[in-house]
Amino acid sequence: MSSRRSVWWFGLVSAVAIAVCVRLGFWQLSRLQERRTQNAIVEGRGAAPPLTLAELQGQDTAVTHWRRVRVEGVADYANEMVHATRTQNGSPGVHLLTPIRPIDGSWGDTAIVLLRGYLYAPDGRTVDLDKAREADTLRLDALVTSFPPPRPGMARMRSGGRAMRLMDRDTLALLMQQPLGPMVLLALGDTIMTDIVRPTRVPPPAITDGPHLSYALQWFGFATVFAVGFVVFARGRKRRGTDPKSQVPTAPATSHTP
């Protein structure tokens, strides 16, 4: 292949690679902007005045997600379940899922799942729920969150008991023996463990920009590497083509005298 043709092909490949990397870089920047917009919504909802459980009823969960709620409800510890294989600060454990009923009766026979906290469990599923009980009537602040999207597989762990592998609303309603509201309330409070048999509140997700900016810089960096690589390659080919030492010497013509 001639020097000019090889430069042309390498340039074409480099141009495609640069275009792809730049496109991915701008895509990550757009993801960053979306993340910041969502963060602003979350911060605004968190700063809004707390709702009561009665005010929460009937509202679209997409609108109330991450709103602060003042919980005053009766805990149904007899039908409590645990979300198994959770971790907090690197320690294995479970999340306590406690059905509660508002003390004002505003939700009728429907209960609301309160993610009451984290409990240490060496095997990630076995805990003493009796020791983890709090007051019969819970009064605390919580954040409105949602049930995770449905996933394939059994929601309840094969070992039975009260351990859940997945937080599936329909399965929880069946096991808790009562209809459940469409949201999960995340109890707020002290997230530092002081007693391994008492629940520790689960911290809400951190509001950050995520990795999108660093990913964008990486893609732009890859594009720069391809561009610089092409320039170096092209200059090297050109230098080889003009350097007399790189030319292959030809044998002098010889004449035969009869």
Cβ(51)–Cβ(99) under 8 Å?
Answer: no
Amino acid residing at 65: H
| Helix (H/G/I), strand (E/B), else coil: 46 | helix
Q: pLDDT at position 202, please?
A: 96
- pLDDT the model gives residue 244: 53
pLDDT for 205 equals 86
User: Which tokens sit at 41?
Assistant: 């919504």
Phi-psi region of 244 (alpha: psi -120 to 50; beta: other; left: phi over 0): alpha
CA distance 120 to 157: 18
Model pTM score: 0.78
How many C-beta atoms surround the C-beta of residue 31 within 10 A?
17
Alpha-carbon span 131 to 127, nearest angstrom: 9
Q: Which two tokens stand for residue 34?
A: 């979306």
Predicted confidence at residue 258, as pLDDT, reads 46
Contact 206, 35 (CB under 8 A): no
3-state SS, residue 122 = coil
What integer pLDDT is reported at residue 9 of this predicted model? 85
- Decide: helix, strand or coil at residue 21: helix
In the three-class reduction of DSSP (H, G, I as helix; E, B as strand; rest coil), residue 10 is classed as: helix
At residue 198, the pLDDT reads: 93
Q: Which residue has the tokens 């350097």?
A: 243
What is the pLDDT at residue 2? 64
pLDDT of 8 reads 83
Q: Which 3 state secondary structure label does DSSP give 172?
A: helix
Domain coordinates in residue numbering, the chain? 3-41+211-243, 50-187
Closest CA to 17 of 256, 246, 223, 250: 223
Say which amino acid occupies 108: G
Distance in angstroms (rounded) separating the CA atoms of residues 208 and 39:
8
Closest CA to 22 of 228, 231, 227: 227
- Which pLDDT value is given to residue 160? 65
Per-residue pLDDT of the chain (258 residues; tens, 9 = 90+): 567 788 888 888 999 999 999 999 999 999 999 999 988 988 888 889 999 999 998 888 888 999 999 999 999 999 999 999 999 999 999 999 999 999 999 999 999 999 999 999 999 999 999 999 999 999 999 999 999 888 888 888 887 689 999 999 999 999 999 999 999 999 999 999 989 999 999 999 888 999 999 999 999 999 999 999 888 888 887 776 655 555 555 555 554 554
